[in-house]
Amino acid sequence: MDDAIIQYMGETFVMEGDNKVITRTWKATDYCKNEAYFEQTITIEPSAPLILENQTSIVLSIGISD
């Protein structure tokens, strides 16, 4: 049997300057109970601001419920 069980172990969030860095930890366990850990790093970088050109008016509809 070669299937492994993959488990999400948790994550941390850190701000590095303007970037948000997310580190997720995963654990794989095989049929013989061998374990391996992996850290996945995700960096979210700010992008250029959204610019709307040649717009004379913008209408936003927001639904509010009680």
Task: List pLDDT tens digits, range 22-63.
Answer: 999 999 999 999 999 999 999 998 887 767 777 666 666 666
pTM summary value: 0.61
- Phi, psi angle pair for 15, to nearest 5°: -95, 125
Q: How far is CA 45 from CA 6, 7, 8, 18, in A?
A: 28, 27, 24, 7
Contact status, residue 20 vs residue 43, Cβ threshold 8 Å: yes
Q: What is the predicted pLDDT for the residue at 29?
A: 95
Q: pLDDT, tens digit, for every residue of 1-22?
A: 568 899 999 999 999 998 999 9
Enter the DSSP assignment of 64. Answer: -
> What integer pLDDT is reported at residue 36 of this predicted model?
95
Please name the residue that has the structure tokens 């654990």: 27
